[in-house]
Amino acid sequence: MAKRSGDLRFQPSGGSRTPQIPVGKKQKLRIERLANDGRGIAFFEGRTWFVAGALPDEEIEARVLGARSQVVEARVERILTPSAGRRAEPCAHARQCGGCSLQHLPHGEQLALKQQQLAEQLRRVAGLQPEQWAAPLVGPELGYRRRARIAVRWDAKARQLAVGFRAPSSQEIVSIDECPVLVPALQPLMRGLGPLLRGLHKPQAIGHVELFSGSASALLVRHTQALPESDLEQLQRFCLEQGAQLWLQGEAAPAPFVADQQLAYRLETWDLQLHYRPGDFIQVNGPVNEAMVAQALDWMAPAADARVLDLFCGLGNFALPLARRVREVVAVEGVAAMVERAAQNALSNGLDNLHFHQADLSNPLVEAPWAREGFDAVLLDPPRDGAWEVVRQLGRLGARQVLYVSCNPATLARDAQELLRQGYRLKRAGILDMFPQTAHVEAMALFEADPDVRLI
């Protein structure tokens, strides 16, 4: 074999390296259009800029948050020429806080952006569009969030405690004492939280705080060290003044300070109350959650003698209302504690036609004893990474109908392509505005099999 010339290793590539852009650098830009996540897109000196807080046709000054290759991430520092479509943000902290990214965009345009993202993912990934687009499912623009996690950080050098929400693309905490997206019941807790925590004898022991609203308001304090008795008394006194429950979490699971206290939320349409504990998954938007459940049942229109499978059932958010309508519901969840609480919720609501099972949903379903009879319909509400392993098996369960609730249009589109391969068609789809003022997209899609098609 001929020996390679060593000189080749050191020959220049023939081009010059593009200089890096330092974090914090300011740059004037003209915004061309919006990205799917609501950031403005600009092009400058061969790079694509994604600018949070910017709108098309605006002249802005952007501050760099990070850069890699030909992509720069930035946020608006100053608006030099505003868009005619810009609105005043309802929150004074909107441009510093990372919680809401679209407050400057009118609500109707937020919905259009989310609808576009869903349609684009279905078309690009799966080559699909539904036979019918449903109108967006909406609720209040503000005052909707019934749970929130509050960031806390102790600065040992300054001996100060920061309390608030994280800034965009940063670990910095923006101090906030009022948040307009929280439900009204949580506003007094939010206003008093900073002074409360800063007044503790051992504030450095606080890891983070969570707020909940349902059958009661609640404050969960996650502590990394044991709290002094005086701090516990101060926390409980504050909660009593606010009419709220105090929950604590150290190394173990969250527990109420008063042993018999419970949290729950209601589904009024079905006269149901679902108990939960901090750490359990519940939808943050109560009105949209109830409307979502109603829409799911309306789209499915199950017969009274139907047998329905609810996958990723959680606390029974869909399973319990379904049980009011059909002969039998089989509900499956991967987390054993959630299965136990869901079964308790069915019992406390007087429902005896539900059967709850804990199962690893990445394993074959058809081999499970509860799946052998088959199902008339399947409802699934998976996490962000979708339900690929589950979806690959649905045709073998014999269900002629699949209702898929998604918090990620990309994985919904991927899974829709597999359902199409098995013999289903996309009958109806639409967005659920679970998180107004953000670019987060939730969606619902109904798949049906033709009566003459044999599912695979």
**Are residues 132 and 196 both part of a single domain?**
no
Query: Has residue 210 been placed in a domain?
Result: yes
Q: Structurally, how many domains does the chain consist of?
A: 3
Round to whole Å and give the CA distance between 448 and 431.
Answer: 19
What amino acid is encoded at 26 in this protein? K
Distance, in Å, from the CA atom of 257 to the CA atom of 245, rounded to the nearest integer, reads: 8
Is the pLDDT assigned to residue 256 strictly greater than 70?
Answer: yes
Instruction: Identify whether 273 is part of a domain.
Output: no
pLDDT at 454 over 60: yes
- To the nearest whole percent, how much of the chain has pLDDT over 70? 96
Together in a domain, 119 and 80: no
Are 196 and 300 in the same domain?
A: no
Last residue of some domain: 213, 229, 263? Answer: 263
Q: Kindly tell me if the per-residue pLDDT of 185 is higher than 70.
A: yes
Classify burial at 291, counting beta carbons within 10 Å of its beta carbon; exposed 0-12, middle 13-18, buried 19 or more: middle
Which residue, of 86, 103, 132, is where some domain finishes? 86
The predicted structure's pLDDT at residue 26? 96
pTM for this predicted structure = 0.92
Eight-class DSSP state of 2: P
Q: Is the dihedral of CA 234, 236, 242, 245 positive or negative?
A: positive
Same domain, 136 and 55: no
CA distances (Å), origin 95, targets 80, 183, 251, 296: 15, 21, 35, 36
Assess whether 419 and 293 both reside in one domain.
Answer: yes
Please check whether residue 5 lies inside any domain of the structure: no
Domain assignment present for residue 229? The answer is yes
User: What is the domain range of residue 171?
Assistant: 147-263
**Tell me, what CATH number does 341's domain have?**
3.40.50.150
Say which CATH number the domain at 191 has.
2.40.50.1070
Among 2-6, 298-302, 398-402, 403-407, which is the least confidently predicted range? 2-6
The count of other CB atoms within 10 Å of the CB of residue 64 is 19
**Measured distance CA(404)–CA(169) in Å, rounded:** 31
For this structure, is 407 an active site residue?
Answer: yes
Domain assignment present for residue 103? The answer is no
Residues 174 and 28 occupy one common structural domain: no
Residue 50 token pair:
């994604």
| Residue 199 pLDDT greater than 80, yes or no | yes
- The CATH number given to whatever domain includes residue 73 is 2.40.50.140
Do 122 and 219 belong together in one domain? no
In a domain, 33, yes or no: yes
In a domain, 295, yes or no: yes
Q: Bridge-partner residues for 430, per DSSP?
A: 444
The reply to whether 402 falls in a domain is yes
Task: Kindly tell me if the per-residue pLDDT of 227 is higher than 80.
Answer: yes
Check whether 6 has a pLDDT greater than 70: no
What does the pLDDT look like over 108-145, one tens digit per residue? 999 999 999 999 999 999 999 999 999 999 999 999 99
Q: Are residues 295 and 192 in the same domain?
A: no
312 vs 365: CA distance, rounded Å: 13
Whether residue 340 sits in one domain with residue 445: yes
Tokens of 99: 């919680």
pLDDT band for position 157 (cuts 50, 70, 90): confident
